[in-house]
């Protein structure tokens, strides 16, 4: 799988070294229970098209600046603090997101109980979302919107997931900058680290609402 696109940075406000933003977000998500243990991964893209991503096997509640690896748009490791550090197992997903969406400057993936539960609400590959006000924060500004989040199978082979994301999004661009891996977690992308953090919070709020609505038998 390869996408031959020139990667351009469109957000001059992105810090040249965004790792402090990634650490702050990871700490916040860890406290929410969305990045327990070493789960989840965060990345931010640099003006040259490379991106910093969390190293594999690191506790997201205790990240240090040295716990990141800089990866080129071609997937090659460009910089790391120790030779034994490995990039997140899901680096290929971040890579394909940056190649598909030129405006994307940050990509966040977290694991929550609610995301796993709602991923089983449907058998198909699109999950309908309730028409909540929170959708406005994700770019949906219609009255009583009909909005879906795409669902992908959580293959052991991450490259297969990345290929399926690429193939589907080329034909069917997502309505919101987010996707859901079944029984795994949600991934969002945005034009800044701050916006990506907001997107995670908004999506997780919607998922939490959906779980509670199901428990009390509210139709939406």
Q: Which residues carry a binding-site annotation for Zn(2+)? A: 109, 111
Report the pLDDT value the prediction gives residue 143, as an integer from 0 to 100: 87
The whole-model pTM stands at 0.90
Question: In 10 A of CB 125, how many CB atoms?
Answer: 15
**Binding-site annotation, residues:** 109, 111
**pLDDT for 28:** 97
Contact between 42 and 91 (Cβ < 8 Å)? no
Domains with residue ranges and CATH for the chain: 19-215 (3.40.225.10)
Q: What is the DSSP letter of 184?
A: T
Residues near 190 by beta carbon (within 8 Å), at least 6 away in sequence: 104, 105, 106, 177, 196, 198, 199
Query: Mean pLDDT per segment of 10 residues, for the chain of length 220 residues?
Result: 35 68 97 95 96 96 96 93 90 97 97 97 96 96 92 97 97 97 98 98 98 85
pLDDT of residue 216: 85
* Residue 65, number of CB atoms within 10 A of its CB: 12
CA dihedral 51, 11, 170, 174 (to 10 degrees): 110
Using one digit for the tens of pLDDT, what is the confidence trace for 147-193?
999 999 999 999 999 999 999 999 999 999 999 999 999 999 999 99
Phi/psi-derived region of residue 71, left when phi > 0, alpha when psi is between -120 and 50, beta in every other case: beta
Residue 37 confidence (pLDDT)? 87
């Amino acid at each position: 799988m390869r996408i031959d696109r020139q990667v351009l940075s469109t957000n001059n406000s992105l810090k040249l070294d965004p790792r402090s933003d990634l650490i702050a977000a990871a700490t916040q998500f860890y406290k929410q229970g969305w990045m327990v243990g070493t789960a989840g991964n965060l990345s931010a893209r640099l003006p040259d098209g490379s991106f910093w991503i969390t190293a594999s096997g690191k506790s997201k509640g205790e990240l240090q600046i040295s716990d990141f690896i800089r990866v080129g748009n071609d997937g090659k490791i460009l910089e790391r603090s120790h030779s034994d550090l490995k990039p997140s197992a899901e680096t290929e997903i971040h890579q394909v997101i940056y190649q598909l969406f030129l405006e994307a400057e940050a990509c966040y993936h977290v694991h929550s109980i609610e995301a796993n539960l709602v991923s089983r609400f449907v058998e198909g590959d699109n999950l309908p979302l309730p028409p909540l006000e929170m959708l406005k924060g994700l770019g949906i500004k219609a009255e009583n919107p009909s909005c879906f989040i795409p669902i992908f199978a959580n293959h052991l082979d991450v490259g297969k997931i990345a290929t399926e994301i690429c193939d589907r999004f080329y034909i069917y661009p997502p309505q919101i900058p987010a996707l859901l891996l079944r029984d795994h977690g949600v991934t969002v992308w945005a034009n800044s680290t701050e916006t990506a953090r907001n997107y995670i919070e908004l999506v997780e709020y919607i998922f939490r609402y959906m779980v509670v609505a199901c428990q009390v038998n509210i139709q939406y």
